[in-house]
Structures are given as structure tokens and as C-alpha cells.
Amino acid sequence: DTANSEKEAVEFIYRQLRNAEPPDEETARGIIEKLFFSDKRYDLGEVGRYRINRKLNLDIAEDTKVLTKQDIISIIKHLIELANNKTDVDDIDHLSNRRIRTVGEQLYSQFGVGLARMARTIRERMNVRDNEVFTPTDLINAKTLSSVINSFFGTNQLSQFMDQTNPLSEVTHKRRISALGPGGLSRERAGFEVRDVHYTHYGRLCTIETPEGPNIGLISSLCVFAKINRLGFIETPYLDVQEGKIDMEKDPIYLSAEEEETKIIAQANTLVGADGTFHDEDVKVRYLADYPIVNRTEVDLIDVAPNQIASIAASLIPFLEHDDANRALMGSNMMRQAVPLMVPEAPIVGTGIERNVARDSRVLLHAEGEGEVLYVDADKITIRYERDENEKLVSFDDDIKSYKLIKYARTNQNTNMNL
């Protein structure tokens, strides 16, 4: 670094940016300010600010959506540490470095594109009609916005017809997570590391259910208890453990891959007494990417259920732990292709979550609460619900509600749905 003063440094940075001599110090400062510190130029967003704060151990307010001087100093420090092997390079496949872009978020960005186009046409029309009197109706053409949204749903690779072969295939299709599509990977370029199972997938992305063939590992399913937080990171629930005893009063805590990084987590099948105390003195746990055995007093958290690591389809397989992984993968994929029965029967052997899958697929009708069935025929069911005073106050519905049954409707697979 040849600069000996602030002025020289500013001029040096300007030369790097513009490849020309700065006219004066003020212009050079203005260019740097506009490029790095102006919110009109770029927006880190909530996620960007959150990740920078976590990575560099900073405490900058979440509403600061541009880089600060503190950020730049910390980034340079971190790069020097990297060059001197004092810190590790980020793992690109760690789930703290990958996030879910939900349908809403993608639609929001498409809406932004549509509004920008609309603003451009409005400006052009205003320039053409300089001195005329015009109303907003003359300027605004909503077609630009609707065409962007229609093309998003019509041509986007991730916009698909729902798989309606059976209730499980519907639920699974809605819980599918893809690394393909706009802004993602392509099948040809995706290497082995991206497709591989990572230790942060535990309780977040199913390690079993994925397609066979070119999409293997690029398309996965959300685990049974996993949820996506407002920043798009996948969280999984754990119960709190204090001094070798599970805190039964507390609700499960949901943690992202980054938040659980330093925690010592026991497995769900650990022997526990009725009061929540661990039976054994030493417990097998997960810590980072390893599975050590530690004293029960060192445990921070415990899994909520043994099927926490599997998706809905995989956790419908009885005695899953005795199956070969390849066969379990095939089984969980083939269950989505099963043709529903004319007269459904309960399975002789099941895992107990079958009723939840059927209910949550929204294929069957489910009463909203206690009440009296007033009328039933092949086309509709009428129920009078028992509602207390508070419920009546907040509810806009009548006590008597009729449900129309689906009769011989066509599904996307050209099969017949009839309740």
C-alpha cells in the first residue's frame, strides 16, 4: 500500500474503480460514497445483513441494508486471517449458507420486475403528453404487470401441475425443495458435493427421499418437523436439557443449522425416565459433524422424535431402520405412485402418522370442532358447531355449516376423485 494519507488512499481507490485519474478529491469521495454506501445503488436485504453480522461477529442494526465502514474493516481482517490459515473457508454446502426462496419471495421479485416495467411506460407516456391534462387511467396499463406474473406461472421451471395421484403425492409435492430453476444449479453442472448428504441436513432435508437419475440430490423433501423461518433458513425442533434432565414444561425450540452448530444434541431414542431424567450416565450425542459419547450433564438439547430425520413419505415405512437405504429411497418414491383404493382400508402394520398425512393433504373433509351432524347425503354434509361466546364474537361464520363433497372430479393425472 503506497498511500500515506487519506487523500492519496481516496485517489488510489478511484483509480482502481474508474481506471482514470480523479478530477479532484471531492469527486473521488463522491464516487466511492455512491458505490459502496448508498442505498439507491444496492440493498443487502435482511438476509445479507444477518449473514454478515453472524459471519463477522458484528452487532449492526438489521435495518442497515448497505455496507458500513465497520463491515469493510472486519471483512479485510477476516481475509487476512484466511490468508494466514487462522480461520477456515466457508463450507458452501452447509445449510447456513443455503436458503429457501419461497414461492412468495419469487413472486415478490417478479412483481418488482413488473412494476419497474410499468413505471418505465408511465414515464414515457408522461413525456409524450407534455402539456395535456390526463388521468391515472390514461397512464397506467396493468397488462405489463399481469403479463409478467402470468409468464412466471406459465413458463417458470418450478411452476408445476400438482401431482394428484394420491394424498401422499400431493403433500410431498408441496413440500419439495429444488436446487434447480432460475438462480439455481443445472443438472449438467452440479457436482457430487452438492448432491451429497451433509450433516446439517439432519432434521431439515430428508436423507432418503430424492429422485433416482439425473436429479438425485438436487431435489429433496422437507423433514416431518422442519419449518422455514422468515429469512428462508430451515429450522428443526429440539427439547431443552438442563443438567441431564429434559425440561418438559418448555415448548420445543426451533434452531437453524448455524444456531445448533455449537450445541451437544442427544438422540430421540435415548433412555429417559418418567420425569425426563436421562437413564444412563453416558449418552451418545451429535456435536458438529461427529458422534461422541459424553456425560449426560453436558447435553444441551435432545431430538423431539425418532422420525425427525425423515420426510413424510420415508416415515410412513414401518421399521425403516432395518431397511437398506437404496430400497427405502425406492419405497418412499413408489408410495407416491400408488393408485388409491375404491374402498380404503387401514393398514395392518403402520407407523401412526398415516391419519396426519391424509388430514394434512386436505383431500378429506375434517370437522373444525365439536358439533352435531344435521344432514348427510352423497353430495353434502351439514354440521352445527358448538361455539362458546368468545368464539361467536370473533367468528364471522354461522354455527351451521355445509360442506359440498367432491364428486367425480378430474385430477391432474386424469384420474377420478370422488369423496
* pLDDT reported for residue 398: 84
- Domain locations in the chain as residue ranges: 6-83, 103-155, 371-417
For 6-83, CATH gives: 3.90.1110.10
Of 135-149, 164-178, 316-330, minimum mean pLDDT range: 135-149
pLDDT reading at 154 higher than 90: yes
pLDDT in tens, 70-118: 999 999 999 999 999 998 999 999 999 999 999 999 999 999 999 999 9
Express each pLDDT in 367-384 by its tens digit: 988 999 999 999 999 999
93 contacts 196 by C-beta, under 8 angstroms? yes
For residue 5, what pLDDT is reported?
A: 87
Between 230 and 393, whose confidence is greater? 230
- pLDDT band at 397; cut points 50, 70, 90: confident
Residue 317 pLDDT exceeds 80: yes
Kindly indicate the confidence band of residue 221, based on its pLDDT and cuts at 50, 70 and 90.
Answer: very high
The reported pTM is 0.89
User: Is residue 30 predicted with pLDDT exceeding 80?
Assistant: yes
Q: Tell me: the pLDDT tens digits for 118-147?
A: 999 988 888 887 777 778 888 888 899 999
Q: In the prediction, which pLDDT does 155 show? A: 93
Statement: residue 318 has pLDDT above 80: yes
Question: In the prediction, which pLDDT does 312 show?
Answer: 97
Average the pLDDT over 266-279 and give the result: 93
- Residue 342: the pLDDT is 86
